Amino acid sequence: MTKDDVIADLRAQLEGKIAVMKSALADSSEGASGDETKSEGKYDTRAIEASYLAEAQAEQLVLAEESLSLFLNFEAPTYTIDDEIGPGALVEVDQEGEICFYFLAPTAGGLITNYLGCEVTVITPDSRLYQELHEKKMGESLEKPSLIVTGLE
């Protein structure tokens, strides 16, 4: 498995998430305008509530599609063990005796995939860990969380 495989899996996860969101939006849009939510009186707010839900889901879908677009256009450079950690780096760390991987991406924070039998967590520039790892080199450590950079791709 390579870093490209990690990126491909993350893209597939984002695409799957969008497909689920589109289905949920279709269902909530139907619920907002369907016969089941037809008002039965002046205090019946089911249609209004369903339309708020559909509107919020539409906004979340737009954000997810923008995230996927950004991720699809992102080209992760190849890093060597002598380089500083930067965007697109797949970083191996020893975190309190456990090997962990982090992928520094422009978006999709929190997604998880596997690499060499270990979990890879996507972190974005908004996260403190991303900011702490950025520009570190192999062998350098962080205090909080307690970790040592042991690999870079």
Residue in 70, 87, 66 with CA at minimum distance from that of residue 130:
87
Question: What is the per-residue pLDDT for 37?
Answer: 57
Tell me the pLDDT tens digit for each residue of 100-140.
999 999 999 999 999 988 999 999 999 999 999 999 999 99
Question: What is the per-residue pLDDT for 43?
Answer: 58
Residues 98-107, buried b or exposed e (16+ Cβ, 10 A)? eebbbbbbbb
Q: Give the position of tokens 């930067």.
A: 86
Contact at 8 Å (CB) between 66 and 17? no
pTM: 0.83
Q: Are strands 147-152 and 90-95 parallel, antiparallel or unpaired?
A: antiparallel
| Annotated domain spans of the chain | 3-73, 90-152
Q: 3-state DSSP call for residue 93?
A: strand
